[in-house]
């Protein structure tokens, strides 16, 4: 946050109003959790200024539809309707009745016809909107873009400077000295000083309220202080993380995620989870969770910690950004990995805004099976891994799934994606929660007589166990000794010391990576990436792994050829890439 008092300001249109829905949602939730009679310690209205372009974007429609359903009466949107966008008049492509649409969403609607001059009317409209507490409000304020300028009301003033001559004319028209620049009139400075004093007085009143709250409700205050004022997790939260052994039965990592989330939800009350209409597939709702719903719905209440986003992936991510911005809540939101592409505009801003949002993305490869190439992600992780300030996890078993949550929750200024399987996979000897913090580690070393492996196999997610089986196959059939490296998070591996990275991936040893996704980006870590650079196919997942050559036998044949090649060819160093 660069400016006090402004929680978010976004570049891509539609994101800000969607963030505002998240801010209002967070206020309702924390108020329901912490407020007691006579102690409204959480009590604010969320204001948002939006324009024609904002309301044209689909993400705004998704978020505002949900806001109406949730009856977020603490949200007031000022819609600057100036009839102009970059291409020219909005009549070129935007002639709907916006307020009718918002009434259909369940919003309270108002209009101010002369937004250029009728400041009293604007003030009355805001007061009326604040008084409506069972619905969000939108106020259509009809204005003139570039009001007072020579090209007022045209697209020419949308993104271009007015120029010296027109700036001088505008200053003269409104009673300013056109020769002066960067001058704040004394009466304006005085007005702001008075507002600052008023703000300080209200801050003192709130601080006093919180002190009384502390005396009346000490346990609640302690939790309020930890979550909302200090923004720290409970001291012993990590003790809730479950661990697993190779003797435990194979389980899909989406199910393991549910097990971990259930344990953490009890320990970390600020966790709010949700899904874009895939709760039964994403497994993001723990037993006993209450839905966040308007109390009038009979479906839950505002204390609820489970969010039903409907099929609104983009809106979900943008709302989660607003929730994270508000503070006191850690949002975890979910859909199929392939459909995070629907939400990419918002998820990119999660990283850019340095927000702790955790994306629980299931059905992470061709392993989802018969849904076919429309649902099977190929390029998705490559896109996410390429996004700055992101942590992308693809855990290989139960310990790594717990470790992914551990690593993600420890972050306070960057988001994480957990990429999880639909199919069952085994728990692996050598995995651990702590190892995930390194991003990549030696899961199973070779038993080469020389102490140096003949090959290194890097696996992620469901392909890590395939690498373990491949190493066994290479040893038994070809007398080749392979080290297996698990790489649950390339981003964290990149942050390790060069000495550690060389220890895991030493020079002079051919490296093969195996992932049932695009090989794009893997040449940074492997001499020969094995993956899928076409769209997927429909069929049982085991058959698909055979079709795409992701079996121990198929990988072994390639590994033998690679080992043979490097008997007469120097192995290039990978570490200059780091």
Q: What is the CATH number of the domain that holds 306?
A: 3.40.50.970
The single residue listed with the structure tokens 């997942």 is: 541
Residue bearing tokens 């620049």:
181
Please, are residues 359 and 416 in contact by the beta-carbon 8 Å criterion? yes
Is the domain of 226 the same as that of 249? no
Q: Is residue 78 part of a domain?
A: yes
Chain Cα centroid distance, residue 481: 41
Residue of 416, 422, 516, 500 whose CA lies nearest to 464: 516
- Let me know how long the chain is: 578
SS3 of residue 507 by DSSP: coil
**Residue 153 shares a structural domain with residue 214:** no
Domain that residue 213 falls in: 198-230
| Residue 6 belongs to a domain | no
Specify the pLDDT at position 232. Answer: 97
Q: Which of 7, 62, 258, 313 is catalytic?
A: 313
Let me know whether 216 and 250 are in one domain.
no
Strands 528-530 and 511-514 come out as parallel
Co-location of 92 and 177 in the same domain: yes
Within a domain: residue 1?
A: no
- Please report whether residue 425 resides in a domain: no
- Asked if residue 204 and residue 151 are part of one domain, the reply reads no
Strand partners, 437: none
Report the candidate in 551, 79, 561, 22 with the shortest Cα–Cα distance to residue 272.
Answer: 22
Adjacency order of strands within the sheet including 416-419: 306-308, 271-275, 330-336, 358-362, 416-419, 391-393
pLDDT of residue 448: 87
Is residue 363 domain-shared with residue 465, that is, in the same domain?
no
Which of the listed residues 390, 419, 448 is the one where a domain comes to its end?
419
- Note the pLDDT of residue 576: 62
Same structural domain, 256 and 204: no
Does some domain include residue 309? yes
Q: Would you say residue 505 lies in a domain?
A: yes
pLDDT of residue 451: 87
Instruction: Judge whether 401 and 395 are in contact, CB under 8 Å.
Output: yes
What pLDDT does 414 receive?
A: 96
Q: Are residues 409 and 449 in the same domain?
A: no
Q: Is residue 132 part of a domain?
A: yes
Q: Identify whether 189 is part of a domain.
A: no
Q: Do 210 and 260 fall within a single domain?
A: no
Within this chain, do residues 454 and 480 fall inside the same structural domain, yes or no? yes
Alpha helices (H) in 70-133, listed in sequence order:
98-105, 119-131
Whole-number pLDDT of residue 126: 98
Cβ neighbours, 10 Å, residue 517:
27
pLDDT at 158: 87
Q: What's the rounded Cα separation, in Å, for the pair 505 and 490?
A: 13
d(CA 18, CA 172): 39
Tally of domains in the chain: 4
- CATH of residue 450: 3.40.50.920
pLDDT string in tens for the chain (578-residue length): 567 767 787 789 999 999 999 999 999 999 999 999 999 999 999 999 999 999 999 999 999 999 999 999 999 999 999 999 999 999 999 999 999 999 999 999 999 999 999 999 999 999 999 999 999 999 999 999 999 999 999 999 988 899 999 999 999 999 999 999 899 999 999 999 999 999 999 999 999 999 999 999 999 999 999 999 999 999 999 999 999 999 999 999 999 999 999 999 999 999 999 999 999 999 999 999 999 999 999 999 999 999 999 999 999 999 999 999 999 999 999 999 999 999 999 999 999 999 999 999 999 999 999 999 999 999 999 999 999 999 999 999 999 999 999 999 999 999 999 999 999 999 999 999 999 999 999 999 998 888 899 999 999 999 999 999 999 999 999 999 999 999 999 999 999 999 999 999 999 999 999 999 999 999 999 999 999 999 999 999 999 999 999 999 999 999 999 999 999 999 999 876 44
Same domain for 263 and 205: no
- 349 and 386 housed in the same domain: yes
**266 in catalytic set:** no
Helix (H, G, I), strand (E, B) or coil at 487: coil
């Amino acid at each position: 946050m660069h400016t006090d008092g402004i929680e978010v300001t976004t570049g891509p249109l539609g994101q800000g109003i969607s963030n505002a829905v998240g801010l209002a949602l967070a206020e309702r939730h924390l108020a329901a959790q912490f407020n007691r009679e006579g102690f409204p310690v959480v009590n604010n209205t969320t204001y948002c200024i939006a324009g024609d372009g904002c309301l044209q974007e689909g993400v705004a429609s998704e978020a505002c539809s949900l806001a109406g359903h949730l009856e977020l009466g603490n949200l007031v949107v000022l819609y600057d309707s100036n009839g102009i966008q970059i291409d020219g008049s909005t009549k070129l492509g935007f002639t709907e009745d916006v307020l009718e649409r918002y009434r259909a969403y369940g919003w309270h609607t108002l209009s101010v016809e002369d937004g250029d001059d009728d400041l009293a009317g604007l003030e009355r409209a805001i007061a009326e909107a604040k008084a409506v507490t069972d619905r969000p409000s939108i106020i259509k304020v009809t204005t003139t873009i570039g009001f007072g300028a020579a090209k007022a009301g045209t697209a020419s003033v949308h993104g271009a400077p007015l120029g010296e001559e027109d700036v001088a004319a505008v200053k003269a028209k409104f009673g300013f000295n056109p020769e002066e620049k960067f001058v704040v009139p004394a009466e304006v400075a005085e007005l702001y000083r008075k507002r600052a004093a008023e703000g300080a007085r209200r801050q003192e009143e709130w601080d006093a309220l919180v002190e009384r709250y502390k005396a009346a409700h000490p346990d609640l205050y302690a939790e309020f202080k930890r979550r909302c004022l200090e923004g720290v997790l409970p001291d012993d939260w990590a003790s809730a993380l479950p661990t697993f052994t190779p003797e435990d039965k194979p389980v899909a990592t989406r199910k393991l995620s549910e097990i971990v989330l259930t344990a953490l939800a009890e320990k970390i009350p600020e966790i709010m989870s949700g899904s874009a209409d895939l709760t039964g597939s994403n497994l993001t709702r723990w037993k006993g969770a209450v839905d966040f719903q308007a109390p009038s719905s009979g479906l839950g209440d505002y204390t609820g910690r489970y969010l039903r986003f409907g099929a609104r992936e983009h809106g979900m991510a943008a709302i989660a950004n607003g929730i994270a911005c508000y503070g006191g809540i850690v949002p975890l939101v979910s859909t199929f990995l392939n459909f995070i592409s629907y939400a990419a505009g918002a998820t990119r801003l999660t990283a850019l805004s340095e927000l702790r949002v955790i994306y629980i993305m299931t059905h992470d490869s061709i392993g989802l099976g018969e849904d076919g190439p429309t649902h099977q992600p190929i390029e998705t992780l490559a896109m996410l891994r390429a996004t700055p300030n992101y942590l992308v996890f693809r855990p290989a078993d139960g310990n790594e799934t717990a470790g992914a949550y551990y690593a993600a929750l420890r972050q306070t200024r960057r988001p994480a994606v957990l990429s999880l399987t639909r199919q069952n996979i085994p728990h692996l000897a050598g995995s651990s929660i702590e190892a995930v913090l390194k991003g990549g580690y030696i899961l199973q070393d070779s038993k080469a007589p020389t102490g140096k492996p003949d090959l290194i196999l890097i696996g992620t997610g469901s392909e890590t166990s395939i690498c373990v089986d491949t190493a066994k196959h290479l040893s038994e059939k070809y007398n080749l000794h392979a080290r297996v490296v698990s790489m649950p998070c390339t981003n964290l591996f990149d942050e390790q010391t060069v000495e550690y990275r060389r220890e895991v991936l030493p020079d002079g040893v051919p490296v093969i990576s195996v992932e049932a996704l695009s090989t794009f980006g893997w040449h940074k870590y492997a001499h020969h990436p094995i993956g899928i650079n076409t769209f997927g196919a429909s069929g049982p997942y085991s058959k698909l792994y055979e079709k795409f050559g992701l079996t121990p036998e198929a990988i072994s044949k390639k590994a033998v050829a690679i080992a043979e090649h490097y008997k007469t060819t120097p192995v290039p160093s990978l570490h200059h890439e780091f």
